[in-house]
């Protein structure tokens, strides 16, 4: 077993009297009367004392332990962790864009408003819907905004309704968004193909249902081929079809949710349109709607008249603000740069390669890892640990062992309708070589599960931090370091 050098805590590096700076003598009293009774730096017991060399090397070493999309493959299903082109960052860093103050008057921010309006128009074209708000700050925030719009419409027509229908294959945040908007959630079961049961939907769809929240393709990566019929069932009872757009990387440039009769859609600029995701955020989750819901969009709305752009706050039916200022502006810029660089043909190619990469992995591993649903999949595929369970190896063990191969694990234990799930989404930015490295690692881990399962149950072995006792960490977290 390889012995990995442990990086100490900064408190363990510390020793009394060390400092990274030497300041000149004070020309004011060391302690002012106004500070009496307040904590000052010298009163902070246990505060680390380190030299500049030590603190620089410590945080540099920590940074090199991080796994990032610039380092390797992120196969997280439903997360679309694609590589972010550096040109997008350069565009967003241009002084006239990054330096504009959010309180600048409209006449001094015409270029910024034009860029935002251009992005809105492109997103309308891509989604096939009529209007877009760029305000929501992330995917779940876009979900919430979409459901607020639906509730506002129903309320304006005399009845907000009581229920929201959500398939068991939907994203986990969907029920939360519906619940926060005051709705009771009813689950729609999947059929043997892993798609929505039309019979179950027709039975549950009544005039008391405000909307159906559908993820398409769903969290199995399976396209809801009956989506138009699904929409007809919902619309016939006066409900709306809300589509979770987190998986739009499987559709963009090929087909449009609006053409599927979807009424509301959130998008993830930090997924589909390649702006930094997760810890590299912030994110951005615009919401697109049909014309009937446009009056309820958050204020302000960007409008153009005679070549000038202005922000319209006078919208009496609006749900109000959902974000301070106008949304995550620099994230929008990166998405716009990405779209303009790709163009229509490039956007379609993006989707086609993402689907091809996913199916390459699925085909390569289908005899090694269990596939609960054998329906054709698009941008992601979901295996389970059923075969490896026979040797006492779980999806957690498989994921931990992948770390020893220098690879990030896939999404684990989701969706819930696949027990022991391993959910893999390669995106279009991974090369054949990188896909093969992942596939061979997964095959090697399967062999290890059969020949030496204990190796997996104790993995990882060569990472800086070994396997944690996750139950103990959850029940008895250590929140403060104490020097022994």
Q: What is the rounded distance in angstroms from the CA atom of residue 83 to the CA atom of residue 275?
A: 9
CATH class, 344-473 region: alpha beta
> Residue 37 corresponds to which tokens in the numbers above?
């009774």
Q: What is the rounded distance in angstroms from the CA atom of residue 458 to the CA atom of residue 213?
A: 40
**Residue ranges of domains in the chain:** 10-18+31-65, 86-341, 344-473
Q: What is the rounded distance in angstroms from the CA atom of residue 426 to the CA atom of residue 335?
A: 20
CATH of domain 86-341: 3.40.640.10
Angle at 178 between CA 177 and CA 181, to 5 degrees: 90
Across 87-124, b (16+ Cβ under 10 Å) vs e yields: ebeebbeeeeeeeeeeeeeeeebeebbebbbebbebbb
Give per-10-residue mean pLDDT for the chain (484 aa): 70 89 80 58 73 94 86 91 91 91 92 96 98 95 97 97 94 92 94 93 97 95 96 98 96 97 96 77 91 98 94 97 92 95 96 98 97 94 97 97 96 94 96 97 98 96 86 83 63
Kindly state the DSSP code that residue 183 receives in the 8-state scheme: P
Angle between helices 329-365 and 432-451 (to 10 degrees): 50
Q: How do beta strands 131-133 and 287-289 pair?
A: antiparallel
Q: What is the rounded distance in angstroms from the CA atom of residue 258 to the CA atom of residue 263?
A: 7
pLDDT score for 439: 98
> Residue 404 corresponds to which tokens in the numbers above?
């020893």
pLDDT score for 345: 97
pLDDT score for 201: 96
Q: What is the rounded distance in angstroms from the CA atom of residue 209 to the CA atom of residue 154?
A: 10
């Amino acid at each position: 077993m390889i012995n990995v050098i442990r990086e100490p805590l900064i408190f363990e590096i510390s020793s009394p009297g060390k400092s990274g700076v030497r300041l000149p003598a004070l020309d004011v009293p060391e302690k002012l009367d106004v500070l009496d009774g307040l904590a000052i730096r010298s009163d902070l017991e246990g505060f680390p004392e380190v030299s500049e060399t030590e603190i620089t090397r410590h945080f540099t070493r920590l940074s090199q332990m991080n796994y990032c999309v610039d380092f390797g493959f992120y196969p997280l299903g439903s997360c679309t962790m694609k590589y972010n082109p550096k040109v997008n960052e350069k565009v967003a860093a241009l002084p006239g864009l990054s330096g504009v103050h959010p309180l600048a008057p409209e006449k001094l921010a015409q270029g910024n408003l034009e860029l935002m309006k251009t992005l809105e128009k492109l997103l309308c074209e891509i989604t096939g819907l009529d209007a877009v708000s760029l305000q929501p700050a992330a995917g779940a925030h876009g979900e919430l905004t979409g459901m607020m719009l639906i509730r506002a419409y129903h309320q304006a027509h005399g009845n907000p309704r009581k229920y929201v229908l959500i398939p068991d294959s939907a994203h986990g945040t969907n029920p939360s968004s519906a619940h926060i908007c005051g709705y009771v959630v009813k689950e729609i079961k999947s059929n043997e193909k892993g798609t929505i049961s039309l019979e179950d939907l027709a039975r549950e769809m009544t005039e008391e249902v405000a909307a159906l929240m559908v993820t398409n393709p769903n969290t199995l990566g399976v396209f809801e081929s009956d989506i138009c019929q699904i929409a007809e069932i919902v619309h016939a009872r006066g409900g709306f079809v809300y589509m979770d757009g987190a998986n739009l990387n499987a559709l963009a440039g090929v087909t449009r949710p609006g053409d599927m009769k979807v009424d509301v859609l959130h998008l993830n600029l930090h997924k589909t349109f390649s702006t930094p995701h997760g810890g590299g955020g912030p994110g951005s989750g615009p919401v697109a709607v049909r014309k009937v819901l446009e009056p309820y969009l958050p204020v302000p709305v960007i409008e153009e008249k005679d070549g000038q752009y202005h922000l319209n706050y006078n919208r009496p039916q609006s749900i109000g603000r959902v974000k301070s200022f106008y949304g995550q502006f620099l994230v929008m810029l990166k998405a716009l740069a990405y779209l303009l660089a790709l163009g229509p043909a490039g956007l379609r190619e993006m989707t086609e390669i993402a689907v091809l990469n996913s199916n390459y992995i699925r085909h390569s591993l289908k005899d090694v890892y269990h596939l609960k649903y054998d329906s054709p999949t698009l941008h992601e595929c979901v295996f389970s640990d059923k075969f490896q369970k026979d040797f006492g190896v779980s999806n957690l063990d498989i994921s931990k062992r992948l770390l020893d191969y220098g690879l990030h694990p896939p999404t684990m234990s989701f969706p819930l309708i696949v027990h022991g799930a391993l959910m893999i989404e390669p995106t279009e930015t991974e090369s054949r070589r990188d896909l093969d490295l992942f596939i061979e690692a997964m095959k090697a881990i399967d062999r290890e599960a059969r020949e030496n399962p204990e190796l997996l149950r104790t993995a990882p072995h060569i990472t800086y931090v070994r396997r944690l006792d996750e139950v103990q960490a959850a029940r008895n977290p250590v929140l403060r370091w104490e020097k022994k």
